[in-house]
Amino acid sequence: MNTRTKERRAWLVRRCNEETIITVIRNTVTAVGCTAVLLTAAAACGTVENLTAGQKVDHAASRLGEQKSLAFQLDLDADADAIDAIAGEDGSDESLPPTFAKFVSELRVDVSVKSRKTLADSGQKDLIGTSVKITGTGGVLLEYRIIGDFMYYRSDMKAIGEAMGIPMPSADDLPPSQKELKKVLEGDWVKVDTKELERVGKAAGGDSKGAAGDGEIDAKTQKKVLDAVRGVIGHKVTFRTKGGADGVEHVVASGNVRDLLTGVFDKLRPLQGDLPAGAELPSAKDLKDAPNKKASVDFTLKNGDLRQIKVDLAVLADSPTKAKLPLVLKFSEAGDVSAPAGATEIPVDKISEGSPLGGAFMGGGF
């Protein structure tokens, strides 16, 4: 095992805590979502075959936007052994802690959103309710909901600690000044007034959009972004269709990861000033470390509706591996998204970046 691999694995083990899990999941969801958007943007580019296959995905994605409620589920369709094999890369005896590999293999993210308008035309103010739930071994690990003027949150810190072999703080560890956070560490529902949190954020000179701030890109900028990447995707990605039965069809989009990312971000850099604060683009130097490999994204359609997106992350491993690590995103209609009963309200002045709720509320849930 080379020095770089050892250092990376040591870093992974050290950083296996709740904050890291949230960050990884957030980035993964963002990456899959961006992949789908960028690939469908190529529907009007390329060869005749690309036009046909790409348009099918484009139309299916548009139909998702025509709905007023949507749910998606994200998980790894791989067992602990496959995850451990890919983490090992070079076939050495060193591996991730068994509890961590199992923990990752059973992680699942469920997101539901309901709006008064169609999702394609919705802004933050139009949303009736949003729910994000992270499930692992033994049940729900983290969950938050945004309903009306309140954000609701719960987490099972003990289960997270046991699954990963890392001690987590308990309610008894809290100082008297943070007794209001006891409910958080006991796994109960708590809530915070997002308007009050926004007011406090403004008073402190923070983001004027507050904790639940949009971070939205306006329609004009969205068009600029899609126009900028359309040509890149059209030249860097190929589409092909695979038939199925009972109305099921697969559209496979393939391209070189480094070439695609480099081309896209080169086009986006002139638009940096129009993007939300904090949306920093990777530098050309950063992109040199992107995998110089071909990857494919499989879109599953049924009767014209987009049902699933799948990509095998194992192809991006540093060394060749026979193991597979499919990341799967499934779409369906949202179920109940409502405020949980009995949630304890937490005063805004008790929430800080370093508290158990800091990452959840100060960062808008994720």
Q: What is the pLDDT of residues 47-90, one digit of tens each?
A: 444 547 777 877 787 788 888 999 999 998 888 888 877 776 54
pLDDT tens sequence across 92-110: 555 566 677 788 888 899 9
Residues written for the chain: 366
Q: What burial class does residue 177 get, using C-beta atoms within 10 Å of its C-beta: 0-12 exposed, 13-18 middle, 19+ buried?
A: exposed
Confidence of residue 112 (pLDDT cuts 50, 70, 90): very high
- Beta-carbon contacts of 285 under 8 Å, excluding residues fewer than 6 positions away, are none
Rounded Cα distance between 20 and 12, Å, is 9
User: What local confidence, expressed as pLDDT, does residue 69 receive?
Assistant: 92
Q: Binning pLDDT at 50, 70 and 90, where does residue 361 land? A: low
- pLDDT above 80 for 117: yes
Q: Nearest CA to 58 among 28, 38, 29, 79?
A: 38
Q: Pick the range with the lowest mean pLDDT from 3-7, 10-14, 342-346.
A: 10-14
Query: Tell me, what's the pLDDT at 79?
Result: 85
* Distance of alpha carbon 267 from alpha carbon 113, whole angstroms: 31
Residue 42 has pLDDT above 70, yes or no: no
Q: What is the DSSP letter of 284?
A: H
Distance of alpha carbon 299 from alpha carbon 310, whole angstroms: 7
**How far apart (Å, rounded) are the C-alpha atoms in residues 361 and 366?**
8
Task: Beginning with the edge strand found earlier in the chain, give each strand of the sheet holding 108-115 in spatial order.
Answer: 238-243, 248-256, 294-302, 305-312, 326-332, 69-76, 108-115, 127-136, 139-147, 150-155, 190-193, 344-345
Q: What's the confidence (pLDDT) of residue 242?
A: 82
> How far apart are the C-alpha atoms of 255 and 249, rounded to whole Å?
20
Percent of the chain with pLDDT over 70: 72
Entry pTM: 0.74
